[in-house]
Structure 1
Amino acid sequence: MSLSRARRCAGPSRRDFLQVGAIGGLGLTLPGFLGMQAAARADQVHFETVEGPAKGVIYIYLPGGLAQQESWDPKPLAPAEYRGPLGSIKTKVPGAEFGATFPKMASIVDKCVVLRGFTHGEAAHERGTHNMFTGYRPSPALKFPSMGSVVAHEFEPKNNLPQYVCVPGQPNEFAGTGYLSSSYAPFTVGGDPASSGFKVRDLSLPGGVDEARFTRRRRLLDAVNDHFAATESADSLDAVGTFYDRAYGLIGNPKAREAFDLDKEDDKTRDRYGRNQAGARMLLARRLVEAGSRFVTLTYGGWDMHDKIADGIKRNGPELDQALSTLINDLDERGLLDSTLVCVGTEFGRTPKINATAGRDHWAKVFSVLMAGGGLKRGVIHGSSDATASEPDTDPVTVMDWAATVYDRLGIKAEKELMAPGGRPIEIVDGGSPIQAILA
């Protein structure tokens, strides 16, 4: 069990500026965490959150809108203008086929859940992305927190690691803290793990600062902090102090720093995932959840294929197929799949019919989301779309249902209320229920 504590950021104080100055020589910027806003945030209502079967989440987001017909829900019996040019292949689940570009995923679908009746009706990129990062439809009246920020809000850090990490960076504005304090913002690695010589910024001590000097500066900072804590009572001091405690804990703990170091993996593992963007990002995500991060979001590819969809899928699909299948197998082999929830999402699907430029346009009436592990059953195709992938046919799944399922597997009550600005109680998920048919 872990209990998060409420905090309020009331604005920058003398202590804020002294702290920044005191450790500025260390280069401690820690992107995301140093985005703590000066604007006041409402107090958050906290209750004990009990861990569920999922100890961590890897959320693989495919921006642009992955076509369900070319991936997890092909229609081999539909007319050619609907089924598309790439064909389909059988999977390990009897009667279920995948797009022909995903043979490795087809071979391990017996470890997965596929939601084929996913629907939300938002066919604009920004609105669909908002749905898939927050579990809420967009509202002009309130900025909702991402699921990763809610998870960071509900659990204390483990092993000095950030609770919420975005790889390679925060992918969009909806992946942020919303109405929550910006102390729950994601830590971003600040570069592409597939790049030669990749290093996570701000995790190494700068030249001329050894461990002993680092410790002395920390003690000096603690003394300054203690002085102001004794003379000032603003809640913001506690919030800023907590941030620096966590930042120092990350930099000062070699094991925590090593979680971000892909060089600790052997060549065989690197090759197995693929020495490319998809492989490096998913391998880093595995290392982070294995070490103690709760929610890791990563993006891969561009799936907004209005033109020549066959070329686009052939260009992006094989790397995704290799890396994703390896990630699921690797977690399973390490005994981590049952405690790690893998989600593969996208903002919407694509139109049932191939268009005049050999692509597919936006379509949010029905699409597919793939999941694995984290307290879910294995080998389940849940729900279906109709014969042309135009709309749900059986067991439709809403964004709220899906978000409630993710939170449920972590042990978070979706109906729990957090406090938005002005003291307004807001449920973590407004409506929706965990999808009982897929829960182990």
Structure 2
Amino acid sequence: MRSIRDMRCHGNPLTQPGMFGRRGFLVAGAASGLGLSLPQLLMREASAEIKQYDFVKPKAKSVIHIYLPGGMAQQESWDPKPYSPMEYRGDLGTIKTNTGEVIGSAMPQLAKRADKYCVIRSMSHGEAAHERGTHNMFTGYKPSPALSYPSFGAVVSHEYGPRNNLPAYICVPNVPNEFAGTGYLPSSYGGFALGADPARSDFQVRDLNLAGGVDEARFMRRKRALEMVNQRFVTGTSADNVGAMNTFYERAYDLLDTPEAKAAFDLSKEDDKTRDRYGRNTAGSRMLMCRRLIEAGSRLVTMTYGSWDMHTSITSGIRGQMPSFDQGLAVLLDDLSERGLLDETLVMVTSEFGRTPKINADAGRDHWPKVFSVMLAGGGVQGGMIHGASDSTASEPELDPVSPADLATTMYRLLGIVADKELMAPGDRPIEIVDGGNVIEKILT
């Protein structure tokens, strides 16, 4: 039986508008949860009692979080400055979108789909170090030496749990950084990492294949034998951990024995036309995998691509990495739309910060958190709009500044999660999922 404190939130959770999808919170056993294997993930999930309270229907059922590590330059992507001096605007130029705006010339395919997404050009925080900026953008919190905060994926996993026998939170191909973990939440809510790049010709997801020498018949015999043994233990003792272990094995067998769940990880199920459409490269293969996973039932998939820390030669760096990103993301938006999934899937493209307004002596740009851009599409976000603005040299916000807490609060609102709900950190400390963020109402449908 869970205590009232385990379900703590502001006021009565049964009467507040917009409250829904509550899950029990496991106080004990908090750990970091970075890159769990399938057995670890399922075993730890099995130890928690899961109970859900539905109140309202969210606008988004799933999130694809595309993270561009290193700090992608806003000037060469979502917020070019064509009328600023050359040392500020850079060499790449602009391209007009199908909504009449301009973005970086290296994104011609995305320019044709601007009606499908929203660009926030006024993101801002104060952390110029990669680690601290990344923490901001994965948790909605400023870094603290006193407490480790849970990532978006961990919170979503905690609030909703698995669906269709798939892990709620999946990382493609691996957990991208230490801040994409569970923070003060139990490690059972950590991301399930694929363990390999789906772009590889020999790609296989760890833990999804039977051990060597075990065919399906032998697998079923083992399952039946285990069920018989477990039944004797469960009926002979009231210990909670026995039931939890039984649940763990049942979930593991369910996934291994569920063709639909296993098939979600298999890109060979896609026809050649689709593979070619996305691009048979790192960006395209990962984005196609993201679509398959959310279509099959995963709630939040985090994907990483590229290295955008371009202190030198930024023009050649963008030309090298942007084309496959541009193609893959454009096709992902098209594909989700064609399948009727875009309206219920939030696609979010972020980086830890932007780059300096002025090109440096090495023809690159340095770290700049004062203003940068993110892109949102689907899941209750208006397409074809720009929110906020930077000044003429992309030095600071000029209109409607947006903080990481605001972005996180908005994402949670679209998923139906109240961002100021309190969870319990170690020591019985009530901590809000996000502290002080505001919903960006202007971008919502």
Q: TM-score, normalised by structure 1?
A: 0.90
Counterpart in the other structure of 1:139: 144
Q: Matched residues in 2 for 1:166 and 1:351: separation?
A: 30
What SS does structure 2 have at the residue aligned with 1:282? helix
Q: 1:286-342 CA distances to partner (integer Å, 9 max, x unpaired)?
A: 000011100000000000000000011001000100000110111011111000000
Q: 1:326 aligns with which of 323, 331, 334?
A: 331
- 1:63 equivalent in alignment to 2:76: no
- 1:343 equivalent in alignment to 2:351: no
Q: Map 1:3-22 onto structure 2 (within 5 A).
A: 4-7=23-26
- 1:153 equivalent in alignment to 2:161: no
Q: Map 1:53-92 onto structure 2 (within 5 A).
A: 53-92=59-98
Counterpart in the other structure of 2:215: 210
Counterpart in the other structure of 1:246: 251
- CA deviation after TM superposition for structure 1 residue 199, in Å: 1.5
Counterpart in the other structure of 1:195: 200
Q: 2:178 aligns with which of 151, 169, 173?
A: 173
Q: 1:182 aligns with which of 183, 187, 200?
A: 187
- Structure 1 8/253 Cα, relative in aligned 2: closer, same or farther at 3 Å? farther
Q: 1:108 aligns with which of 99, 110, 113?
A: 113
Counterpart in the other structure of 1:30: 38
Provide the aligned C-alpha RMSD in A: 2.4
Gap runs ≥5 in structure 2 = 1-19, 31-35
Counterpart in the other structure of 1:20: none
- CA deviation after TM superposition for structure 1 residue 249, in Å: 1.6
- CA deviation after TM superposition for structure 1 residue 47, in Å: 5.5
Q: 1:52 aligns with which of 44, 55, 58?
A: 58
Read off the aligned partner of 1:180 and give its amino acid letter: L
What SS does structure 1 have at the residue aligned with 2:335? helix
Read off the aligned partner of 2:38 and give its amino acid letter: L
- 1:356 equivalent in alignment to 2:356: no
2:64–2:290 CA contact under 8 A, matched in 1: yes
Counterpart in the other structure of 2:279: 274
- Structure 1 241/382 Cα, relative in aligned 2: closer, same or farther at 3 Å? farther
2:43–2:248 CA contact under 8 A, matched in 1: no
What SS does structure 1 have at the residue aligned with 2:176? coil
Read off the aligned partner of 2:260 and give its amino acid letter: K
Q: 2:421 aligns with which of 413, 416, 422?
A: 416
Q: Matched residues in 2 for 1:410 and 1:243: separation?
A: 27
- Structure 1 45/432 Cα, relative in aligned 2: closer, same or farther at 3 Å? farther
- CA deviation after TM superposition for structure 1 residue 222, in Å: 3.8
1:192–1:198 CA contact under 8 A, matched in 2: yes
Read off the aligned partner of 2:320 and give its amino acid letter: R
Q: Matched residues in 2 for 1:285 and 1:130: separation?
A: 22
Counterpart in the other structure of 1:14: none
- CA deviation after TM superposition for structure 1 residue 241, in Å: 4.5
Q: 1:69-125 CA distances to partner (integer Å, 9 max, x unpaired)?
A: 00000000000000011111111222x211110011111011101000001111100
Counterpart in the other structure of 1:437: 442
Q: 1:364-396 CA distances to partner (integer Å, 9 max, x unpaired)?
A: 000000010001111110000000000000011
Q: 2:316 aligns with which of 304, 311, 319?
A: 311
1:90–1:106 CA contact under 8 A, matched in 2: yes
Q: Matched residues in 2 for 1:338 and 1:29: separation?
A: 31
Bigger mean CA offset, 208-217 vs 388-397: 208-217
- CA deviation after TM superposition for structure 1 residue 158, in Å: 1.6
- Structure 1 243/72 Cα, relative in aligned 2: closer, same or farther at 3 Å? farther
Q: Matched residues in 2 for 1:424 and 1:181: separation?
A: 14
2:153–2:301 CA contact under 8 A, matched in 1: yes
1:305–1:359 CA contact under 8 A, matched in 2: yes
Q: 1:394 aligns with which of 399, 407, 426?
A: 399
2:21–2:52 CA contact under 8 A, matched in 1: no
Q: Matched residues in 2 for 1:307 and 1:31: separation?
A: 43
Counterpart in the other structure of 2:4: none
1:66–1:349 CA contact under 8 A, matched in 2: yes
- 1:375 equivalent in alignment to 2:383: no
Q: Matched residues in 1 for 2:175 and 2:232: separation?
A: 35
What SS does structure 2 have at the residue aligned with 1:98? strand
What SS does structure 2 have at the residue aligned with 1:250? helix
What SS does structure 1 have at the residue aligned with 2:38? coil
- CA deviation after TM superposition for structure 1 residue 213, in Å: 2.5
Q: Matched residues in 1 for 2:407 and 2:163: separation?
A: 26
Q: Matched residues in 2 for 1:420 and 1:262: separation?
A: 39
Between the aligned residues of both structures, percent identity stands at: 61
Equivalenced residue count is 420
Read off the aligned partner of 1:4 and give its amino acid letter: R
- CA deviation after TM superposition for structure 1 residue 244, in Å: 3.5
Bigger mean CA offset, 110-119 vs 199-208: 199-208
Q: Map 1:223-234 onto structure 2 (within 5 A).
A: 223-229=228-234
1:72–1:114 CA contact under 8 A, matched in 2: yes
- CA deviation after TM superposition for structure 1 residue 235, in Å: 5.2
Q: Matched residues in 2 for 1:422 and 1:149: separation?
A: 20
Counterpart in the other structure of 1:290: 295
What SS does structure 2 have at the residue aligned with 1:89? strand
Gap runs ≥5 in structure 1 = 12-27
What SS does structure 2 have at the residue aligned with 1:343? strand
- Structure 1 315/218 Cα, relative in aligned 2: closer, same or farther at 3 Å? same
Q: Matched residues in 2 for 1:324 and 1:263: separation?
A: 20
